[in-house]
Amino acid sequence: MKNLKNLDKMTNEGVDNCSVEERRHFLKMGLTVTGVFAGGTILSAVSSVNKVYASTSGFVEKYPYKPHYSMIMHIENCIDCEKCKSACAETNGVPSYGFRTNILERQVAGALDQQREFIPVLCNHCNLAQCTRVCPTKATYKDPNNGIVMMNIEKCIGCLSCQLGCPYNARYFNEEKWAVDKCTFCWESRLSKGAKTTGCSEACPAGVRIFGDLSNPSDRVYKEVHQMTKTVWVLRPQAGTKPNVFYTRG
């Protein structure tokens, strides 16, 4: 209090004698205060973006694959028309008893605005994929070039441990192929033939599924993941698999 009363009488020391550490500390404090007064949104966006980056902090600017295929879902646009599911089944010959992609429905009874939302899901092509780790014969593996989790059906013994390892229920056993089948971002049917996007992404009439290259700064997926104004998240982050399918709203 004494110092506060004498505040007017005190002389300005200037910033010449202020150490770098002190300046940094002051800036950090300022950012924290700003974040708190902005309803926590800035801080929460920063922290969630850091959490949801597909790679650890060491890879934030340097992704392990080139292109590093990825998808971001604008879930508020999803109306559950299932055109993505149909396109996927047609493009990749998915039988009626299985699916490579699905749409989950969540009902929130007490919500003041919409009470229902749809969450499209597919293989997350995780950077630390559990399915590829547990497969005893390397029948499923990360493509070393583009990071897609692929299947070599010739090697699949049908132990189904990959189905258990996957935290996203993205795999099923295809009785016709005698092997586990899963989303490959339409690699065999489209991307390897020069297409720029997946079947589901192209078929979506509401622009929910945005497919792209997470390692390319000019790509839309890159831009939407590497920003702070809108929250971006992944499903089941606690599984620790570093997924490459992101979710956002608005």
Contacting positions for another protein (CB under 8 A): 97-98, 104-108, 119, 121, 130, 133-139, 154-161, 163-169, 171-173, 175, 178-179, 235-236, 238-241
CB 156 within 8 A of CB 179: yes
Indicate the SS3 state at residue 51.
Answer: helix
d(CA 79, CA 205): 10
* Structure token pair of residue 173: 């056993």
Least distance (Å) between residue 205 CB and another protein: 22
Kind and range of the H or E element at 142? strand 140-142
Q: Which is nearer to another protein, 81 or 153 (CB)?
A: 153
Q: Which is nearer to another protein, 107 or 229 (CB)?
A: 107
Please name every residue paired with 11 in a beta bridge, in sequence order, or none if there are none. none
Q: Which is nearer to another protein, 81 or 228 (CB)?
A: 81
CB 249 within 8 A of CB 219: no
Q: Which is nearer to another protein, 65 or 168 (CB)?
A: 168
Least distance (Å) between residue 59 CB and another protein: 20
Tokens 């570093």: give the residue.
242
Least distance (Å) between residue 227 CB and another protein: 24
Least distance (Å) between residue 33 CB and another protein: 33
